[in-house]
Amino acid sequence: MSFMDQVIAWEEFDFKDFFEKVTTRDVQRSLHRDILAFRDLLHLLSPCAQDFLEPMAQKARLLTRQYFGRTIGLYAPLYISDYCVNQCTYCGFNAHTRFARTKLTLDQIDQEAEAIAKTGIRHILVLTGEAPARTPMSYLTDAVRILKKYFSSIGLEIFPMDEADYRILVAAGADSLTVYQEVYDRKIYKQVHPGGKKADYAYRLLTPERGAQAGFRAVNIGALFGLGNPMAEAFMAGLHARYLEQTYPDVEVSLSLPRMTKAEGATAFCHSFPDISFVQCMLAWRLFMPRLGITISTRESAAFRDRLVHLGATRYSAGSRTDVGGYARNLEDSTVQFAVTDARSVDQITRMIRKSGFQPVFKDWESVI
Ligand code: SF4
């Protein structure tokens, strides 16, 4: 049984109706449970639970401290190619957007890596669009080998692959895999992915499982908030994370909450996902899965990220550039995948974390093989 069976099983569930009927008593009961079931997660994501954000935050803080201490892991994204054959209607890199596409040479990857490593960052997340003809396996493995010189942990956020291909990348030195389903609602998924390989919902959904089977030590999943009904998406993402945690207990599972931001060439409709819902979702996930990593990117504002440090977040991107070659070349007019809202440097974010009473962690893992 794969997670696809669970998606199908929940497909006819009327989230709106269920959420409307949740009572204060339901929320209180779920809040006080030690081990939360699916129904409890639904209660905590309901509008009624917005009156309980303070007690949810207190419990979330305790659980996060128990499992992660007072630490925030830091990483930086590194875009190495913006070629893409897909047509995602929410993304500035989609095949229809006209701009001068770039793919870094291996020397340029080395320069980017050096520039990032100078900031102290030791965890890197490598990103590409989906264009295997431009970024074939040989290019990706060479890139990973170069990055190994500078970083102790190499994450990949690239196009979904078969398990055998992932095994090659793990052997080259990559250790974590990020892949967002973007939207769990299959009807909306079809609308916003009108063509390209990404139109295959099931292949994408089962990508984290193929990654776990291939030997990645960590997988990071999530939905792009704004594409579907946010709390239904939050529930499905939570369900997916728990499925992965239970099926692959030796794999570290994390969730992200990327919110849609404006991007050149993007046309997708955006559901509102205000800060209060964002916080509620994070707290509900923490109570549902105490060991879950929660990643917050620079899509969020500096002031908001400062507050989230206390509410269960475990990993922040810092000093991010979302254009190809952005670190070493620092171009003003380059094309970005999404606009960075928190543009602070690694030093500034580190200072903020320390001032909040937490320890910034640059390196918490290293392959000894
Ligand atoms: S989201 Fe990824 S796959 Fe879709 S258009 Fe953008 S870069 Fe390509």
Ranges 130-134, 184-188, 238-242, 332-336: which has the least confidence? 332-336
Domain enclosing residue 23, as ranges: 3-361
| Confidence (pLDDT) at 325 | 87
Q: What is the DSSP string of 269-291?
A: ------HHHHHHHHHHHHHH-TT
Which backbone phi and psi does 330 adopt, to 5 degrees? 50, 50
Establish how many alpha carbons lie within 13 A of residue 253's alpha carbon, considering only the half-sphere containing its beta carbon: 25
The protein residue with its alpha carbon nearest to ligand 1, atom 5, reads: 94
367 in a structural domain? no
Whole-angstrom distance, CA of residue 49 vs CA of residue 54: 10
In a domain, 243, yes or no: yes
In a domain, 366, yes or no: no
Q: Whose CA is nearest to atom 4 of ligand 1?
A: 88
What's residue 216's pLDDT? 98
Rounded distance from Cα 130 to ligand 1 centre (Å): 7
Mean pLDDT of the chain: 94
Asked whether residue 221 is domain-assigned, the answer is yes
pLDDT at 231 over 90: yes
- Angle at which helix 137-148 crosses helix 106-117, to 10 degrees, equals 30
Name which residue sits closest to atom 2 of ligand 1, judged by CA: 129
In-domain check, residue 43: yes
Spacing, Cα 225 to ligand 1 middle (Å) = 15
**Domain for residue 210, yes or no?**
yes
Q: Does residue 240 form part of some domain?
A: yes
- Closest residue (by CA) to atom 7 of ligand 1? 129
Residue 264 pLDDT exceeds 90: no
For residue range 79-114, list pLDDT tens digits in order: 999 999 999 998 888 898 888 999 999 999 999 999
355 confidence band (pLDDT: 50, 70, 90): very high
Give me the mean pLDDT over the 318-342 stretch: 77
pLDDT at 245 over 80: yes
Which of 91, 134, 189, 261 gets mutated to test ligand 1 (max ligand atoms within 8 A of its CB)?
91
Q: For 26-78, how does the pLDDT look when each residue is reduced to its tens digit (9 = 90+)?
A: 999 999 999 999 999 999 999 999 999 999 999 999 999 999 999 999 999 99
Rounded distance from Cα 93 to ligand 1 centre (Å): 6
Q: Percentage of the chain with pLDDT > 90?
A: 84
Ligand 1 neighbours, Cβ below 6 Å, are: 84, 86, 88, 91, 93-94, 129-130, 198
Residue 139: is its pLDDT beyond 80? yes
Question: Residue 128 pLDDT > 80, yes or no?
Answer: yes
pLDDT, tens digit (0-9, with 9 covering 90-100), for 203-214:
999 999 999 999
Inter-axis angle of helices 230-247 and 207-214, to 10 degrees?
20
What is the CA(193)–ligand 1 centre distance, in A? Answer: 9
Please state the atom number of ligand 1 nearest to the C-alpha of residue 193: 4
CA of 94 to the centre of ligand 1 (A): 6
Q: For residue 368, is it within any domain?
A: no
Question: How far lies 150's CA from each of 72, 89, 216, 255, 361, in Å?
Answer: 20, 35, 19, 26, 16
Please tell me the distance between residue 336's alpha carbon and the centre of ligand 1 in angstroms: 12
- How many domains in the chain? 1
CB 79 within 8 A of CB 322: yes
Q: Is 38 exposed, middle or buried (0-12, 13-18, 19+ CB in 10 A)?
A: middle
CATH number at residue 40: 3.20.20.70
Res 314: pLDDT? 98
* Mutational pocket test of ligand 1: of 79, 83, 94, the residue with most ligand atoms within 8 Å of the beta carbon: 94
